[in-house]
Structure 1
Amino acid sequence: MGSEPITLKNLPRTVRATIAAKAGLVTAVEAIEAGHNSPLSLRLTTATGQFFVKGLRDEGGRLATQRREYEISPYLRGLAPAARWRVWVDGWYVIAFDYIDGRTAAYHPGSSDLPLVATLLHRLSSVTPPEDIELRLAEQRLAGYVTSPADLAHFAGNTLLHTDLNPHNVLIADRAYLVDWGWATRGAAWLDAAYWVICLIAEGHTPDQAEAVAQSLPAWRTAPRDGVTAFANASVNLWREINGPGATPGRKRCSTLQGAGLPTAFRDQSARLGSLVAEYVRTRPHHRKVD
């Protein structure tokens, strides 16, 4: 479920004091809405630069995702905003990242952002996840949606995956940057390309167009056909669950944007899958500044 946004002044005095000790002289504070998993979401302007600061109470499962974001940051140089410091005091967990003065990526057909995102994903596909950070496994996350347990072997691997390639998680500045790494996963190198393909479909590409864009990625070009087929099936099953009867806005917000390109055997699923993801995109809250 989402959390009500809060500001710096709402934090306990000890938390504010510790943030001040880390950040230095704060000259400006701006509230930013950046998702529903972190009730504290700010841009801090300080004597030493600008930071994007996010935080939440250290309770429940969401703390694990935010800790993962901080711990994975050193392995993402040039791929994501760098985490500079954290505060964990009096029941609050707060992280400061370099502030990227960018905009949300545009995924529509013909967008000039697409080559930048492709370059980002190509670089990411060569990153090996650290052994000392606990990550979910791709085959675990998809286990409830495959048509056969044997399909899960296609998703196993030792590449660091983001797995939520929706355009609101990509910032465009001097290059493309990936944000919100709470769902970082270990799996096959081609999976992030597959997640991206369905995001492109949701943003107006046909399946053929989306797969053509992904052809610039070596990991996608070498993806096993049976694996892509298995992923397409799992994605349809997943999205039927997300948008099915009884689905709540909170459930949708907490679900990562998932999918895959659809090979010929599953072209009949493409319209259904595209409409399911497009419905999610229309209903999920977009990142925007809070006035």
Structure 2
Amino acid sequence: MTQTGGFSPGVAARVRLVDGRRVFVKAAGPEPNPDTPGLHRAEARITAALPAAAPVPALLTALDLDGWVVLVLEDVDGKMPAQPWQHDELQRVLAAATELSVLLDPSPVEVPTVADRFGEEFQGWRQLAAAFAEGVDDLAWLPSWAQRNVRRLADREAAWSIAAAGGALIHGDLRADNVLLTDDRVAFVDWPWAAIGASWIDIVLMGPSVIMQDTPDAMRLLDRHLCARAADPDDVTSVLIALTGYFLRQSVQPPPPGLPTVRGFQRAQGEAALDWVRERTRWR
């Protein structure tokens, strides 16, 4: 049965084997997006190295042949969280993310730090400020608040990598479509973007996708959770500003091959993240 959700092109299907067992199969070749097989290879390596106690579908086998990569994973008979998020499901996922961060700190897997993983991407505000200063982009496509504060945002963005430092393994791409809920379990799937950093970062990275779904009281719930995790408020804001700049700048770039809808999704997340930044900074 083909599964929906996510953006990577390729096969994603629940399969019944001849012996009656179910597995989840995902596969991708070099077309239409040449980067997807590399992501599958990374996911295979990371998933195989996670501890058995992690709430992550186990990798059963992986094949790499003629540019095609196939992963066969444990099947999870669950569902993605409802959209917009329901309060109880969001609370379940936030609690499970806390437990996961404890289990994966220190990181059991050798992967890049968040600064190395996202360092080139998380320069959006600095790039936008430079383009404005050089007359290349008038930034008229940005909300007026962002236009007024672009230099301030760029300055604060520069601190994000120090704010994000830590020793925990983070998922790096946590959203509703990378979560499965069963009656008694929360499973986290799709791990190619995993990195090492502060244990609370996944909640900041997930936040804009929660807010953009018009989830009731989303910002307050996210802020309360981060406070309970003892995340430094200034560090959270610095990382959030960097994430926001990434989403907004990427949203006006040409779409990657085979991913025609990703820019619209980035724009929606960027606007949601910007609302969260305004709420946290209280800048005029």
Report the TM-score when normalising by structure 1. Answer: 0.68
Whole-angstrom distance in 2 between the partners of 1:266 and 1:216: 16
Worse-matched range after superposition: 168-177 or 136-145: 136-145
Q: 1:150 to 1:78 in 2, by over 3 A?
A: closer
Whole-angstrom distance in 2 between the partners of 1:224 and 1:175: 29
- In structure 2, the residue matched to 1:65 is 39
Tell me which of 19, 33, 56 is aligned to 1:80. Answer: 56
- In structure 2, the residue matched to 1:177 is 187
Q: 1:250 to 1:110 in 2, by over 3 A?
A: closer
Tell me which of 95, 107, 118 is aligned to 1:129. Answer: 107
- In structure 1, the residue matched to 2:140 is none
* Deviation for aligned residue 1:92: 2.3
Q: 1:111 to 1:56 in 2, by over 3 A?
A: same
Asked whether the 8 Å contact 1:125–1:219 carries over to 2, the reply is no
The 5-angstrom pairing of residues 212-231 of structure 1 reads 212-214=220-222, 217=225, 221-231=229-239
Structure showing the higher strand proportion among its residues:
1
Tell me which of 22, 28, 31 is aligned to 2:2. Answer: 31
Q: How many residues align?
A: 237
The 5-angstrom pairing of residues 59-208 of structure 1 reads 60-73=34-47, 74-75=49-50, 77-106=53-82, 108=84, 110-126=86-102, 127=104, 128-131=106-109, 133-135=110-112, 137-138=114-115, 140-142=117-119, 143-145=122-124, 147-148=154-155, 149-173=158-182, 174-205=184-215
Worse-matched range after superposition: 66-75 or 254-263: 254-263
Deviation string 1:182-229 (CA, Å, 9 cap, x unpaired) is 2112211111121232222112146xx324323564676411122122
Which one-letter code corresponds to 1:190 in the other structure?
W
| Matching of residue 244 in structure 1 with residue 252 in structure 2 | yes
Asked whether the 8 Å contact 1:58–1:93 carries over to 2, the reply is no
Q: Larger relative contact order (C-alpha < 8 A, sep ≥ 6)?
A: 2
Whole-angstrom distance in 2 between the partners of 1:41 and 1:110: 26
* Deviation for aligned residue 1:135: 3.3
Which one-letter code corresponds to 1:135 in the other structure?
P
- In structure 2, the residue matched to 1:286 is none
Deviation string 1:73-131 (CA, Å, 9 cap, x unpaired) is 24154422111111223432211111111111125465321222012210221213235
List runs of 5+ in structure 2 lacking aligned partners: 126-153
Whole-angstrom distance in 2 between the partners of 1:213 and 1:107: 16
> 4+ residue runs of structure 1 moved beyond 6 angstroms?
254-258
Q: 1:219 to 1:45 in 2, by over 3 A?
A: farther
* Deviation for aligned residue 1:161: 1.1
Asked whether the 8 Å contact 1:122–1:219 carries over to 2, the reply is no
Asked whether the 8 Å contact 1:242–1:252 carries over to 2, the reply is no
Which one-letter code corresponds to 1:75 in the other structure?
L
Whole-angstrom distance in 1 between the partners of 2:235 and 2:260: 27
SS at match of 1:37: coil
